Amino acid sequence: MAKLNLIKRDGGSLEIEGDAGVSIMEMIRDSGVDELMALCGGCCSCATCHIFLSEEDMGRTGEVSADESDLLDSSDHRQAGSRLSCQIIWSNDLDGLTVTIAPED
């Protein structure tokens, strides 16, 4: 099973196994990490599941949609590797992906 490397806000890390077809937001939430509010439940209508991708992983997850980009613009912490974790669907091709939970806005 493919594994996600998660870096939490306190700098601690966690390795999460994921099933293909679920979002990274769901994987993080289901692992017991409560740092993502994910208020909209994955509908891409808030930015409370904001994560950062490592520079080497940015090209592995697909393009940022216009809606996702608009929501990320509302964050004071947006950077080049910013994504909404609800918009990245997990697959075995993403094995070893590293994400960092963004600071809360």
Considering the segment(s) 3-99 as one domain, its CATH architecture is Roll (3.10)
Distance CA 100, CA 38 (A): 15
Q: Which residue has the tokens 């964050």?
A: 75
Tens of pLDDT, residue by residue over 68-97, are 999 999 999 999 999 999 999 999 999 999
The predicted structure's pLDDT at residue 1: 84
Domain ranges of the chain: 3-99
Tens of pLDDT, residue by residue over 21-39, are 999 999 999 999 999 999 9
Return the ∠ at Cα 104 (arms to 64 and 87), rounded to 5°: 25
DSSP string of the chain, one letter each residue: --EEEEE-TTS-EEEEE--TTSBHHHHHHHTT------TTSSSSS--TTEEEE-GGGGGGS-PPPHHHHHHHTT-TT--TTEEEGGG-B--GGGTT-EEEEPPP-
